[in-house]
Amino acid sequence: MTACIIKLYGKYSKHIYGIPQKIINILSDMYANNQCCVRHGGQQSDWFAVKSGVRQGCIISPLLFLIAIGWVMKRATNQQPRGITWRAFNHLEDEDFADDIASLSHSQKDM
């Protein structure tokens, strides 16, 4: 997911979220040619390429995830009514995550 989003933003970075090209280049370099292995029971697997996802424990990973989810939500809701209409002119948007949706429940059981 991350590599695709970085490539997309690299292509359209001036038009999407105002991300400067320099930042796109830094992120692209951070995620280029990543490899990892699995250790289990005292043994280690061969190294393999990581082509998607974000780095666990990396301080920038939550931001990258939110950018990706924002892009997905924009694509999924393009040109369609979004959110929940509370009253005629009050509208609640961006219920993208389970905890956001849970806040709309009337009781713990409804969650």
pLDDT of residue 30: 85
Which comes out higher in pLDDT, residue 7 or 73? Answer: 73
36 within 8 A of 55, measured Cβ to Cβ: no
> Rounded to the nearest 10 degrees, what angle do helices 21-31 and 2-12 cross at?
160
Sorting pLDDT into bands at 50, 70 and 90, what band is 45? very high
Secondary structure class of 91 (helix, strand, coil): strand
91 within 8 A of 85, measured Cβ to Cβ: yes
Residue-range domain boundaries for the chain = 2-80, 81-111
8 token code pair: 């997309």
Mean pLDDT, to the nearest integer, of 7-32?
69
Return the amino acid letter for 26.
Answer: I
Q: Global pTM?
A: 0.51
| CB neighbourhood size of 9 (10 A) | 23
Q: Which residues contact 35 (CB under 8 A, 6 or more apart)?
A: 47, 48, 49, 50
Sorting pLDDT into bands at 50, 70 and 90, what band is 68? confident
